[in-house]
Homo-oligomer: A and B are copies of this chain.
Amino acid sequence: MAGILLVEDDPSVRTALELALTRQGHSVTSYATGEEALDHVRSRRPEIAILDVMLPGMDGVEVCRRIRRLDQLPVILLTARGDDLDVVVGLEAGADDYVVKPVEPRVLDARIRAILRRAESAASDRISFGDLMIDRGALKVTLAGKEIHLTPTELRLLLELVRHPGQVLNRRYLLRAVWDHTHVADSRLVDACVQRVRAKIEPRPAEPVFIHTVRGFGYRFSPP
């Protein structure tokens, strides 16, 4: 469900948590260092970050501070120590929650869901389909982590298609939804624009993975 960024240097703990969270239905990407994690935040825009405090190099609290400057990403800090001072420092650094290891997967899941629910009013809504990530709040589209520049019309078209995944939308509908209704229905306008979007988001535009042509009817967005 959620795109979770996990940072934990101990391989056994990392794989255990990754497995548990994946079982709860989350999509997890994990790293051992804060630097990698920050790159991931910049490029992949996860929904929530879970950071171990004790990390080689940049520690979790510092990663948390930097993440905070990048985005409104919620952050959970994870520590093996029950030291009260850590709690204070961590929360002061802007963490949303603080969990002491070892943690019950179910508890961690509940905390993640609570924080996501709380954040969802403020957070931007983003959806991803395979490599393709669409951030409706930031109006950004990334493909395999690389930002794709779409022009306004292209973006509106893509958003409209994505709003109805799996459904065939005909040209008349798209003309109304994306353009104003002043355009004639028989132009190559929609085709040309679909073409432009494909050129940007499809790995092989000739064999589209996202936007499929339904001959005689229109176009359908269906994730791979």
Contact = CB atoms under 8 A, between A and B. Distances in A.
Interface in A93-114: 94-97, 104, 106-107, 110-111, 113-114
B110 A87 contact: yes
B71 A92 contact: no
A122 B124 contact: no
A223 B70 contact: yes
Nearest to A152: B216
B216 A151 contact: yes
Contacts of A139: 168, 214, 217, 220
- Each complex incorporates copies of this chain amounting to 2
Interface residues on A, range: 35 or more
Contacts of A138: 166-168, 220, 222
Nearest to A153: B216
Interface of A: 69-72, 84, 87-88, 91-92, 94-97, 104, 106-107, 110-111, 113-114, 117-118, 122-124, 127-130, 137-139, 151-153, 155, 164-168, 214-217, 220, 222-223
